[in-house]
Amino acid sequence: MSTSRPLPATERPSLLRSLSGLLTVLGVTMLSSTIVSVALPQIVGALEGTQSQYTWVVTATLLASTASTPIWGKLADLFDKKKLLQLSILLFVLSSLLCGLAQSTGQLIAFRAVQGLGMGASQVLVQVIIASLVSPKERGRLNGYIGAVMAVATVGGPLMGGLLAGLPLLGWRWCFLVGVPFMLVALVVLSRTLKLIDVRRPETKVDYAGAALIASGVSLLLLWVTFVGGEFAWISWQSGAMVGGSLVLLALAVWVEARVSQPVVPLHLLLRRETVIAILASSAVGMAMFGGAVFLGQYFQLARGYSPAEAGLLTAPLMLGTMVSSTVAGRMVSRSGRVKSYVVTGMVTLTLGFLVLSTIDKNTSLFIVCSGMLLMGLGVGMSMQNLVLVVQNSVPLRELGAASGTVTFFRTLGGTIGVSVLGAFLANRVSSKIADGVAAAGTSPTAGGGDAGTLDLAGMPPLLRSIVEDSYGSATGELFLVATGIAVFGLLLSLFLPRVRLRDTLDLPGEDERAEEASTAPEAAPNTPEEPVKASSGEKRSFTG
């Protein structure tokens, strides 16, 4: 096993350079998850893909990223974190180049799945490495920066994708290639400046069976969420087979994890009150973060008639709110050492933002829409990374990777399921409203050469276009009403978080000694004891950013 230890205080300039590289990696990988959302119709059209393939360009990435996150988190506890991060960067760079050069939709889907593996690895490894460098109390400030980077990347992705798709020569291929040079620069910076002292443990074992069962169970569940309501009904034999199969695989995973010495997801983490609450609340925040970028961008284009670039610009209040609140809340958490009040306040603000957005339709004032987005962003910024911090504060350094990977996994899983379910709800409501509007107008869905079943608003006659815009406007409001209910659930959970005070040591008191004793080989000669390399329970580290 490999346990990363903190750098000496004399290495402060190197630490700052390492942090810049780590945040670059995190920003680029988060950007890649949403940058194709606006340009996707153009991408699939250029590659002559089908509607089902359109869905898979997004789904393949989310599947690979979500299912592999806890595995990468566990590997970070067992092996050299720096080498794992370098591997994930190279995997992401290679897959991004392949995506940019894809000649068919099938190739693009396969390469996006590989890119998802690199995305999942990079995102969790960056947070694990940062957490292994500074104490939870000082980490609050860094988590503010992390939240700001994630918000800018997630919400700014559609805007950048819309702008890049219009560039000459490569066009939409820039969406996949734009991050490559930044990742290569980050790789060089991290190779030179990131120095983690590692103690090798020859008895390391990887729980391959548990990893395979978790990945298979989650993938099958996400596949069901992706296709239910479209390819088959909610109550059907396909739903029964996929949901039942997923539950069986996950139950087997729990059985395996309870019996192996080094599980991928340590089950005792899920028995802690603060961990379970943080995980469930993170799922609600994940839905807000991903859903906001997807459905608000669609609302501005299909209900208000704005271009992709204009729609991206109009989502700026969401990005601004998240960036400001995550940075300010992070500094205040580091100063006070308390986190619950910020999480609860964030969940209240998030709920209010959803509630405001639940009132929108085609004609709603942009001031009201932007106010709702600003509240939503403020809520995400105050709660997202602080929920991760709650979990990291409760575990020893040797379990930091598994804990971070677990909470990140459930946040991404919640976001994926939320986007899929809310997307299915939106499609259902839009279809129903268009049918009612067409019937009330006494026309047909293909009147005047248009087709209400497509998203080509420019090709529709004025009457049909007005019906489609009205339908998307009111249906989006109903969607955020459903999201409000989910946010209320997250808020109620956050009220039960214990009032913990963040520790200012890297490890839990006494954990270093216990870890060293547990790792001592029984056959070691008594006259050649291993010299421990540890971060003592009293060692503190301050970060001034």
Helix (H/G/I), strand (E/B), else coil: 507 = coil
Looking at the whole model, is its pTM more than 0.75?
no
The yes-or-no verdict on residue 539 having pLDDT over 50 is no
For the chain, give the number of residues.
545
- Reported as a pLDDT band with limits 50, 70 and 90, residue 192 is confident
**Worst-scoring range by mean pLDDT, 122-126, 233-237, 503-507?**
503-507
Structure tokens at 440: 């009330």
379 with 254, same domain? no
244 with 126, same domain? no
Q: Give per-residue pLDDT as tens, 411-459.
A: 777 777 777 777 778 877 888 888 888 787 766 555 554 444 555 566 6
Compute how many other C-beta atoms are within 10 angstroms of the C-beta atom of residue 335.
Answer: 11
Share of the chain above pLDDT 70, in %: 75
The yes-or-no verdict on residue 12 having pLDDT over 70 is no
Determine the pLDDT at residue 532.
39
The yes-or-no verdict on residue 493 having pLDDT over 90 is no
Radius of gyration of the chain, Cα coordinates, nearest whole angstrom: 24
251 with 373, same domain? no
Q: Is residue 201 part of a domain?
A: no
72 with 168, same domain? yes
Distance CA 327, CA 149 (A): 10
Q: Is residue 404 part of a domain?
A: yes
Mean pLDDT of 225-249: 84
**Whether the Cβ atoms of residue 321 and residue 370 lie closer than 8 Å to each other:** no
Query: CA distances (Å), 229 to each of 62, 101, 233, 426, in order?
Result: 19, 33, 5, 11
Q: Is the dihedral of CA 65, 67, 73, 77 positive or negative?
A: negative
Is 6 exposed, middle or buried, given 0-12, 13-18 or 19+ CB atoms closer than 10 A?
Answer: buried
Among the candidates 242, 261, 280, a domain finishes at 261
Q: Is residue 358 part of a domain?
A: yes
429 with 463, same domain? yes
Mean pLDDT of 148-165: 74
270 with 254, same domain? no
Structure tokens at 115: 């890119």
CATH number of the domain that 66 lies in? Answer: 1.20.1250.20
Nearest alpha-carbon partner for 275 in 411, 468, 82: 411
Mean pLDDT of 455-470: 72
Q: Is residue 111 part of a domain?
A: yes
58 with 39, same domain? yes
Q: Is residue 2 part of a domain?
A: no
Structure tokens at 381: 């910024």
**Whether the Cβ atoms of residue 412 and residue 430 lie closer than 8 Å to each other:** no
Q: Is residue 339 part of a domain?
A: yes
390 with 315, same domain? yes
Distance CA 322, CA 150 (A): 9
Domain count for the chain: 2
218 with 273, same domain? no
Compute how many other C-beta atoms are within 10 angstroms of the C-beta atom of residue 444.
Answer: 12
213 with 360, same domain? no
- Which residues sit opposite 338 in a β-bridge? 501
Q: Is residue 512 part of a domain?
A: no
Q: Is the dihedral of CA 214, 216, 217, 219 positive or negative?
A: positive
- Average model confidence (pLDDT) for the chain? 76
- Reported as a pLDDT band with limits 50, 70 and 90, residue 41 is low
Which residues neighbour 310 within 8 Å (Cβ) at sequence distance 6 or greater?
300
Helix (H/G/I), strand (E/B), else coil: 303 = coil
Domain of residue 331, residue span: 10-196+262-494
Helix (H/G/I), strand (E/B), else coil: 101 = coil
287 with 247, same domain? no
107 with 234, same domain? no
